Homo-oligomer: A and B are copies of this chain.
Amino acid sequence: MRYELYYWPTIQGRGEFVRLALEEAGADYVDVARRSGKRGVSAMMQLIDGRRIKRPPFAPPFLKAGPLLIAQTANILLYLGGRLGLAPREEAGRLWVHQLQLTIADLVALIHDTHHPITGYLYYEEQRAAAKLATKYFWRYRLPKFLRYFERVLQKSSGPYLLGRRLTYADLSLFQIVEGLRYAFPRRMKRFERKVPRVIALHARVATRPRIAAYLASPRRIAFSQWGIYRYFKALDG
C-alpha cells in the first residue's frame, strides 16, 4: 500500500517522527504537501475542514492508508508499528512501545514550550523572560527526569534499543529528540550527554542504520530551523 503523509512541508515538526518510521521501513509513501507545494497544503487543509470527511483530524500530521485517515503522531505510529516491522504485534509489546512513544510526546510538548511557554500566538521575543525561566527549570528538572527514564529503560532492556535488540519506532523518535536537543541547546546538551550514555549510544546507532543514514543525507530530510519544535536561541542555551 502507498501511504500518504500530510504534514507542513517546510518543517520537521511532529511529522518527522512518522517520516523516520516510513524511511527506516523503506515504505512506499508520498509526503503530499512537500510534493505538491501550495496545492498539497490546501489538500491537507481540506481534509481538516472538508464537509465530506466523516472523521476529521484536529491537526497535522495525518496519514492516509487506504480508506483510513489517521491523525495524532503516536496514533499513526501505533497503526504503522506492526505493519512496518517497527513494533511487536502482540498486545503487551505493542502497548509498551506506544507507552514509550506517548512519554516522548509529552517531552516534545515541553521542549516546544521552552521557547514559547506562554502561547504559540506570540513571538518568542514577546515572551523572552518567561522562556528563559521555563528553560532553566526544564533543564534543571524536567529534561533530566525524562532522559534518565529512557536511560533506565535502556539499562533494563540491555540495549542497544529500548526493547533490547529489536528496533522500534520509539527508538527512532528518541533519536530525533537527541538530534533536536543538539540543535536547540548545543552547549547545554554537550554538558549533559555524559549523564545518559545509553541514550546517546542509541542515537549514534540509529544514525548509522543504512536507510536512516541515506535519509538524513537526502533532500527529503528538512533542515532544522527557527520554525519547528526545536529552535536555537543563544539566550536559552545557558
**Which residue numbers of A lie inside 8 Å of B, CB to CB?**
54-58, 67-68, 70-72, 74-75, 78-79, 91-92, 95-96, 98-99, 102-103, 106, 109, 113, 117-119, 121-122, 127, 130, 133-134, 137-138, 140-142, 146, 149, 152-153, 156
Contact check, A72 vs B56: say whether CB atoms are below 8 A apart: no
A122 to chain B, nearest CB (A): 7
Q: With A75-B102, A102-B75 in contact, do A133 and B119 touch (Cβ < 8 Å)?
A: yes
Residues of B within 8 A of A118 (CB): 117, 130, 133-134, 137
When distances are taken between beta carbons in the complex, the residues of chain B under 8 Å from A95 are 68, 70, 75, 78-79
Q: In the assembly, what is the distance between CA of A213 and CA of B182, in Å?
A: 51
Closest A-B pairs by Cβ, 7 of them: A119-B137, A72-B102, A58-B103, A118-B134, A130-B130, A121-B137, A72-B99
B99, A75: Cβ atoms under 8 Å? yes
Contact of A156 among B54, B68, B99, B119 (CB under 8 A): B54
Which residues of chain B have C-beta atoms less than 8 A from A156's C-beta?
54-56
Shortest A81–chain B CB gap in Å is: 12
Q: Can you list 29 A-B pairs with a CB-CB distance of less than 8 A?
A: A54-B156, A55-B96, A55-B99, A55-B153, A55-B156, A56-B149, A58-B106, A58-B146, A67-B92, A70-B95, A70-B99, A71-B99, A71-B103, A72-B98, A75-B95, A75-B102, A78-B98, A79-B95, A109-B109, A117-B118, A117-B130, A118-B134, A118-B137, A119-B134, A119-B141, A121-B137, A121-B140, A122-B137, A127-B130
